[in-house]
RNA sequence: GGUGAGGUGGCUGAGUGGUCGAAAGCAGCGCUUUGCUAAAGCGCCGUAGUCCAAAAGGCUACCGAGGGUUCGAAUCCCUCCCUCACCGCCA
């Protein structure tokens, strides 16, 4: 959620930035939010004055009672009753004014960073970095969904039996490869200074709200209605919410966390070859990195995170590219997002395996996640997160890109974790 | 699932109708004392909204949440949520 003060102080700039995100009628929307905030403020002031008067009278009445001047007290009592009626009305008005403001404010997406390219579709994303050669596969190379069957690594049908489509069962070396990747990613994150946490994978409504999944994107999460819990779509939700309603010490920033969790996404309406095999699942594993930063250096940190993730992909010897997402392709809450895509050679397509974003204060505003500045005032932190990495598509790319007539070669960096060099 | 206890500031914890935004202690910050450390003394020390150019300061709200009683509620009443303990069940 944006801060009204941002919009007030930099009105034209905010409008321009909203336009970059292809937000319709940005100028009218911003003007309305500012007006609604002024309305809210004036009602608040009126109410505060009225309450002050009532408090004052109540104190006088107390004093009169003590002195035994009951008659005088009764006169004042009468007066407070009138004030009370008035303030009741204002309380209702204030609630309305706050709701009106909130309803409009939550519709506004985060303002994109100045480096974000204009554009509407994924075609407009800017390739900022490419690494590695596109591998030339041998004649009989096949997509990963055939390899997983051939080598008995993943059983998609069995998952259908147990749960449904999109819940694969990993087996044998397929299961071990998963475990190896998780441990590799966590070890790397630890080396880079991220503190590991193991959060719950069910969260309550407050947490869903804090990171912005609720109320709008309720449909993307699995909901346990009996207990009103949600299965997390990403570790970002529980990990970032650790810091909800806190005031961090400035010297403790940035806070760096990493977490491995399963992730659950309903992804309603998806079909076709985009969801074939491991490309899109309802349950998948992911290691996430999260940072809570001082606004002063959050963009330096974003670049660090980007190069950290790039380093992982290099170590895994996967060809990849980094995209700076255009205004139209960015998520609602992000100010700047880099997507990392690996090339999946048998499918001959790029697969998104990581998304690294700076949300600036958009999330922390909702989370009430602050730090104390030199002048002892509280300010909103910046929140950042990134996948490091999402497993299924990494597995897909490893299987496809490394397939040979002799079998599938495990990237050497993983061998200490898998304890085998080949899948054959 | 059953029974009981309880939710107060960073923590511990007092507070059963006005003088309570809240005692006291701990932690933290500043100063004094001190060869250093420690100890001691003094002062400061919740969040948010709003007024003021800003500081100082003023006003308002917040003692789990929401209602109610009252001129006045942390305190009384109702509803809900949560936590803890014990028992049962499961691992």
Describe the strand order of the beta sheet including A403-404 as a list of residue ranges: A403-404, A407-409, A422-423
Residue-by-residue pLDDT tens, chain A, 424 positions? 999 998 998 999 999 999 999 999 999 999 999 999 999 999 999 999 999 999 988 888 888 877 777 788 788 888 888 888 888 888 888 888 888 999 899 899 999 999 999 999 999 999 999 998 888 888 888 999 999 999 999 999 999 999 998 999 999 999 999 999 999 999 999 999 999 999 999 998 889 988 988 877 778 899 888 888 899 999 999 999 999 988 888 888 899 999 999 999 987 555 666 778 899 899 999 999 999 999 999 999 999 999 999 999 999 999 999 999 999 999 999 999 999 999 999 999 999 999 999 999 999 999 999 998 877 788 999 999 999 999 999 999 999 999 999 999 999 999 999 999 999 9
Nucleotide whose C1' lies closest to the alpha carbon of residue A4: B49
- Residue whose CA is minimally distant from B17 C1': A62
Give the closest residue to A158 by CA, choosing from A139, A141, A174. Answer: A174
Structure tokens, A165: 């489509």
Structural domains of chain A ordered from first start: 4-105 (1.10.287.40), 122-423 (3.30.930.10)
Interatomic CA–C1' length for residue A55 and nucleotide B15, angstroms: 22
Give the closest residue to A188 by CA, choosing from A305, A80, A328. Answer: A305
- Residue whose CA is minimally distant from B58 C1': A52
Structure tokens, A379: 């300010």
Interatomic CA–C1' length for residue A245 and nucleotide B63, angstroms: 17
Interatomic CA–C1' length for residue A287 and nucleotide B88, angstroms: 39
A300 Cβ contact list (under 8 Å, min separation 6)? none
Strand B: which residues have Cβ below 7 Å from it?
A 41, 44-45, 47-49, 51-52, 54-59, 61-62, 65, 77, 80-81, 84, 247, 370, 372, 378
Q: Which nucleotides of B are covered by protein (CB under 7 A)?
A: 18, 47-51, 59-61, 71-72
Q: Is the ipTM of this complex over 0.90?
A: no
């Amino acid at each position: 959620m944006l801060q009204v003060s941002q919009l007030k102080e930099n009105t034209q700039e905010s409008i321009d930035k909203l336009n970059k995100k292809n937000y319709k009628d940005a100028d009218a929307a911003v003007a309305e939010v500012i007006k609604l905030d002024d309305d809210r403020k004036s009602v608040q002031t009126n109410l505060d004055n009225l309450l002050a008067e009532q408090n004052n009278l109540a104190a006088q009445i107390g004093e009169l009672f003590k002195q035994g001047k009951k008659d005088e007290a009764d006169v004042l009592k009468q007066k407070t009753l009138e004030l009370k009626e008035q303030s009741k009305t204002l309380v209702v008005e204030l609630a309305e004014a706050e709701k009106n403001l909130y309803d409009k404010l939550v519709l506004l997406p985060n303002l994109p960073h100045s480096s974000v390219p204009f554009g509407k579709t994924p075609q407009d994303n800017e390739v900022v970095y490419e690494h590695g050669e596109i591998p030339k596969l041998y004649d009989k190379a096949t997509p990963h969904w055939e390899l997983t069957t051939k080598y008995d690594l993943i059983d998609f049908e069995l998952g259908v039996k147990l749960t449904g489509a999109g819940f694969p069962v990993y087996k044998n070396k397929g299961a071990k490869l998963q475990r190896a990747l998780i441990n590799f990613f966590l070890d790397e994150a630890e080396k880079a200074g991220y503190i590991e946490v193991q959060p719950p994978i069910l969260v309550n409504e407050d947490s869903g709200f804090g990171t912005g999944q609720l109320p709008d994107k309720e449909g993307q999460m699995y909901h346990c209605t009996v207990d009103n819990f949600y299965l997390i779509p990403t570790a970002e939700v529980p990990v970032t919410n650790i810091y909800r309603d806190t005031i961090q010490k400035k010297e403790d920033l940035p806070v760096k966390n990493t977490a491995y969790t399963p992730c659950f996404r309903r992804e309603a309406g998806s079909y076709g070859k985009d969801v074939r095999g491991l490309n899109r699942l309802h349950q998948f594993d992911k290691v996430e990195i999260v940072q809570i930063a001082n606004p002063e250096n959050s963009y330096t940190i974003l670049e660090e995170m980007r190069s950290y993730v790039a380093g992982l992909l290099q170590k895994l010897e996967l060809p990849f590219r980094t995209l700076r997402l255009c205004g139209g392709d960015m998520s609602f809450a992000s100010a700047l997002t880099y997507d990392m895509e690996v090339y999946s050679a048998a499918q001959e397509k790029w697969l998104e395996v990581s998304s690294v974003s700076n949300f600036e204060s958009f999330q922390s505003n909702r989370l009430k996640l602050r730090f104390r500045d030199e002048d002892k005032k509280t300010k909103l932190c910046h929140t950042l997160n990134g996948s490091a990495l999402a497993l299924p598509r990494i597995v897909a790319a490893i299987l496809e890109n490394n397939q040979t007539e002799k079998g599938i070669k495990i990237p050497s960096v993983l061998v200490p974790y898998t304890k085998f060099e080949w899948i054959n």
